[in-house]
Structure 1
Amino acid sequence: MENTEEGISPKKMPEGIQPGMENHQEETNLAPESKDPKEEATKSQEEEEEDQIDACNGTTNASTNGTTNSPTDPPTVEVTCDSCMENPRPASKSCLTCQVSYCEEHLRPHLENSKFQTHKLVEPQLDMELRTCPHHHLDLELYCTTDSRCICASCGSEGHHGHSIVPIGEARKQIEGDLQQKQKEMVKKLSAAEQAITKLQGNTESIESSVTGVRAEIEQQFSDLQAAVEDAQKSTLDVLEGEYKQALGQAESIQAHIEQRITELKKTMAQVERLPRKKNDVDFLQEYTEWRKGLVDVCLPGVYISLIDQLDTFSRIVKETTKNLCEQLTSTYSAQLKELCESEKLSIKTMVQPSSPTKRQSSEQEPVTREDFLKYASNLTFNPDSTHKFLRLTEDNRKASNTTPWQHNYPDTPDRFEHWRQVMTCESLYLGRHYFEVELTGEGAYLGLTYKSIERKGQESSSCITGNDFSWSFGGKATATRPGTATRRRRWRWASFLGSDSTWTTRRVCWPSTVWTTP
């Protein structure tokens, strides 16, 4: 029987429309028009009606015969006749009134029978019902900027009364201008991200070069000593190697994060480049609306690493100590270098700064309500590879429970915590605002923030997500129990602000709700 009195469960945020959904671009294959005399007699009227429809939709119909799709264009989908029972033939026209597409044979009643003269014929179209108002069965010829949706004329005077409404052609023109500006901004951000990667790679080489020089100096000093120096030499090199590995680990983490952002930017750019290819305004505006809901602003960091002064200090201390304290080698080197690292005089850290803070961030109002904070929501899941053997993950890795004294036979991985009963999330938080809701149960449950490079196998406080200078946590006293069989659980809502100097500012944004539940 498992002990689940202590647990942490991130609350799942409302899911929005995710970016990356693709709609096939409509492409028409026009069959040669018949030379029937009756068809010629109605040709002028038909063309006049098509011109009116095109003026409303803001599009120009053109034959695709003789054209070749680019590698990035979606595959062509042929529109077939809805009246053919077997072996449907390619459609020649679509009737907006009937909401049906016809081949040349089944189109004849529309061309020859006077009762169909009022019907609106256009080039073959897919999913015609998506271009018609489901309530009034009229063409979607207007765009409500207030609700970000296409509407018909009747909707404009009813459910959208008082809203900002423009013709769909005008709306597309305005949105295309905004997309062009967005594309320019994305190009700048992509360039900044690539420059940051280049600078990180150069700084990594600087770290390796500088540390190599200090290592050689240390080895030269210790070469003058005999057997009594060997223990001190080992401890000193261990300190340097630890700082070196920590710096490289942080640099690799930041590089991986920026590479992920580059992938997201390229994906978003591909979506933006694909949007203007939509021939139909309704398809364009609807896909743009879906794309905009999932659009996430990407904050790109600059990179700055300074090692020279710190490493000079490291080298100077080694030299002076070697000359003055040869009889106390083991204790002196270990004590002074440890004190130096803890006082942050020797801080081989990777610092990041925003490359170009956006104006929108500075002009945004402070969030107050839960709806405001949900704009910055982060859906978190626990990483099974980091889970301690006394913890169990459930609910799709969204809940961690303490099962002491029962252990789990997890495979040994580099990310798994060996001593401290902790588990990391799969997702990382970077510069900017982040909002998350967490439910803590039991007196030993904590929630914290730390670097990915935290030590996983040690028993020291440097491996614990609390009580050191590179992590932060709260919890423990946040929950309580009362006599009986009921357990009081508290649900906390927290907002985290990650600064450019790798500092955290976190506050509770609203009082937690207390819920009594029975195990």
Structure 2
Amino acid sequence: MHKKHKEVKSCLICLASFCETHLKPHYEVPSWKKHKLVEASGNLQEKICSEHDKVLEIYCRTDQSFICYLCMTDEHKSHDTVSVKAYRTEKQSELKEEQMKSQQRIKEKQKKVQELKQAVNTIKLSAQTAVEDSERIFTEMISSMKKRHSEVTELIRGQEKAELSRAKRLLEQLEQEIADLQRRVTELEQLSHTHDHLHFLQEIKVLVSGRHSPPTIRPEDSRSITVNQHLSFDGVRNSLSALKKRLEEFCQEEFIKI
């Protein structure tokens, strides 16, 4: 049983794919050297005109379809047409522009991630400072105020938890968008290196149109994403200070009565 060799090229004239060994005649026989070779493909029939059995090497802008050179003399005679290679060149620029946009959006979102992480640290520090202040104030108060002390601490932690929870959701959302965009950049990069013009044009139409792109926050919305990194607990602190003062005044008044 003969070992099957890997197919490396497909001939659009022979309508067959060949391994390195059987491909040699296309490089050596003068009449075969003119045959058009492309990357090995299992779907050669898709590159052939169903009406004329010729290679689809023309793009009709009027009908937005791929045609052969015989179609140009028939139903597409007066249409606006261009070679597949030339059309690929046009679309290649669109691909590069899309790549640049995606890279820029990644940078913007990575910057926002760093800002959110810094905001998280600021919130934690602010919350911790507020808790320590409340601890200091409540230790100066009598034991009957311990219940209030616990309630105030829970209030602070609740505000901290709410802000951190929101920041976490935003971080996860941005990181997911970055992953989706990086995957899109990879797909665009892979597509940019293909030598199969028809495959390129068929895929770029889907990728650039965005029909299969993951839902994402629009750039203008991304700039509005923020968390309250300057979360203030001054209200709690001021209320406790006022309470302490009133308690001291009350105690002083009562001590005079003793």
TM-score class normalised by the smaller sequence = 0.7 to 0.9
| AA in 2 matched with 1:294 | H
Report the counterpart of residue 106 of structure 2 in structure 1.
Answer: 190
Which region of structure 1 is more displaced relative to structure 2, 231-240 or 314-323? 314-323
Task: Please report how far the alpha carbon of residue 100 of structure 1 lies from its aligned counterpart in structure 2 after TM superposition.
Answer: 2.4
Given candidates 226, 229, 239, the residue that maps to 1:304 is: 226
Give SS of 1:143's match. strand
1:372-419 Cα distance to aligned partner (Å, 9 max, x none): xxxxxxxxxxxxxxxxxxxxxxxxxxxxxxxxxxxxxxxxxxxxxxxx
Report the counterpart of residue 161 of structure 2 in structure 1.
Answer: 245
Report the counterpart of residue 252 of structure 2 in structure 1.
Answer: none
Report the counterpart of residue 212 of structure 2 in structure 1.
Answer: 294
Given candidates 37, 42, 54, the residue that maps to 1:123 is: 37
Within 2, Cα distance between the matches of 1:269 and 1:93? Answer: 27
Give SS of 1:121's match. coil
Looking at secondary structure, tell me which structure has more helix per residue: 2
Report the counterpart of residue 233 of structure 1 in structure 2.
Answer: 149
Task: Please report how far the alpha carbon of residue 234 of structure 1 lies from its aligned counterpart in structure 2 after TM superposition.
Answer: 0.9
Within 2, Cα distance between the matches of 1:311 and 1:156? Answer: 76
Aligned in 2, Cα 1:91/1:255: closer, same or farther, shift over 3 Å?
closer
Unaligned runs of 5+ in 1: 1-84, 328-519
How do residues 272-291 of structure 1 correspond to structure 2 at under 5 angstroms?
272-291=188-207
Does the aligned pair in 2 maintain the 1:221–1:319 contact within 8 Å? yes
Within 2, Cα distance between the matches of 1:162 and 1:285? Answer: 23
Within 2, Cα distance between the matches of 1:307 and 1:91? Answer: 60
Task: Please report how far the alpha carbon of residue 255 of structure 1 lies from its aligned counterpart in structure 2 after TM superposition.
Answer: 0.2
Give SS of 1:133's match. coil
Given candidates 250, 267, 270, the residue that maps to 2:183 is: 267
1:258-307 Cα distance to aligned partner (Å, 9 max, x none): 00001001101111111121112112212223333423573252343345
Aligned in 2, Cα 1:152/1:90: closer, same or farther, shift over 3 Å?
same
Within 1, Cα distance between the matches of 2:107 and 2:53? Answer: 48
Does the aligned pair in 2 maintain the 1:97–1:120 contact within 8 Å? no
Within 1, Cα distance between the matches of 2:8 and 2:142? Answer: 95
Does the aligned pair in 1 maintain the 2:180–2:214 contact within 8 Å? no
| AA in 2 matched with 1:291 | L
Residue 168 of structure 2 is aligned to residue 168 of structure 1: no
Give SS of 2:56's match. coil
How do residues 12-27 of structure 1 correspond to structure 2 at under 5 angstroms?
none
Aligned in 2, Cα 1:188/1:206: closer, same or farther, shift over 3 Å?
same
Does the aligned pair in 2 maintain the 1:149–1:286 contact within 8 Å? no
Within 2, Cα distance between the matches of 1:315 and 1:156? Answer: 82
| AA in 2 matched with 1:123 | L
- Normalising by structure 1, we get a TM-score of 0.40
Within 2, Cα distance between the matches of 1:270 and 1:318? Answer: 57
Residue 240 of structure 2 is aligned to residue 318 of structure 1: yes
Residue 68 of structure 2 is aligned to residue 152 of structure 1: yes
How do residues 56-75 of structure 1 correspond to structure 2 at under 5 angstroms?
none
Does the aligned pair in 2 maintain the 1:149–1:285 contact within 8 Å? no
How do residues 470-481 of structure 1 correspond to structure 2 at under 5 angstroms?
none
1:437-461 Cα distance to aligned partner (Å, 9 max, x none): xxxxxxxxxxxxxxxxxxxxxxxxx
Looking at secondary structure, tell me which structure has more strand per residue: 1
Report the counterpart of residue 177 of structure 1 in structure 2.
Answer: 93
Report the counterpart of residue 256 of structure 2 in structure 1.
Answer: none
Does the aligned pair in 2 maintain the 1:91–1:104 contact within 8 Å? no
Task: Please report how far the alpha carbon of residue 245 of structure 1 lies from its aligned counterpart in structure 2 after TM superposition.
Answer: 0.6
Give SS of 2:232's match. helix
Which region of structure 1 is more displaced relative to structure 2, 216-225 or 259-268? 216-225
Task: Give the paired residue count.
Answer: 238
Give SS of 1:134's match. coil
Within 1, Cα distance between the matches of 2:154 and 2:7? Answer: 76
Within 1, Cα distance between the matches of 2:189 and 2:123? Answer: 40
| AA in 1 matched with 2:232 | Q
Aligned in 2, Cα 1:123/1:317: closer, same or farther, shift over 3 Å?
same
* Percent of matched pairs sharing the same residue: 20
Report the counterpart of residue 369 of structure 1 in structure 2.
Answer: none
Report the counterpart of residue 358 of structure 1 in structure 2.
Answer: none
Report the counterpart of residue 214 of structure 1 in structure 2.
Answer: 130
Report the counterpart of residue 143 of structure 1 in structure 2.
Answer: 59
Give SS of 2:140's match. coil
Aligned CA RMSD, in angstroms, stands at 3.6
Aligned in 2, Cα 1:295/1:306: closer, same or farther, shift over 3 Å?
closer
Within 2, Cα distance between the matches of 1:228 and 1:291? Answer: 67
- Normalising by structure 2, we get a TM-score of 0.76
Does the aligned pair in 1 maintain the 2:92–2:192 contact within 8 Å? yes
Does the aligned pair in 2 maintain the 1:95–1:101 contact within 8 Å? yes
Does the aligned pair in 1 maintain the 2:109–2:178 contact within 8 Å? yes
Give SS of 2:103's match. helix
Does the aligned pair in 2 maintain the 1:150–1:286 contact within 8 Å? no
Aligned in 2, Cα 1:270/1:91: closer, same or farther, shift over 3 Å?
closer
Unaligned runs of 5+ in 2: 250-258
Task: Please report how far the alpha carbon of residue 92 of structure 1 lies from its aligned counterpart in structure 2 after TM superposition.
Answer: 9.2
Does the aligned pair in 2 maintain the 1:95–1:120 contact within 8 Å? no
Does the aligned pair in 2 maintain the 1:96–1:120 contact within 8 Å? no
Aligned in 2, Cα 1:118/1:198: closer, same or farther, shift over 3 Å?
closer
Higher alpha-carbon Rg:
2
Within 2, Cα distance between the matches of 1:266 and 1:100? Answer: 36
How do residues 45-64 of structure 1 correspond to structure 2 at under 5 angstroms?
none
Within 2, Cα distance between the matches of 1:321 and 1:148? Answer: 77
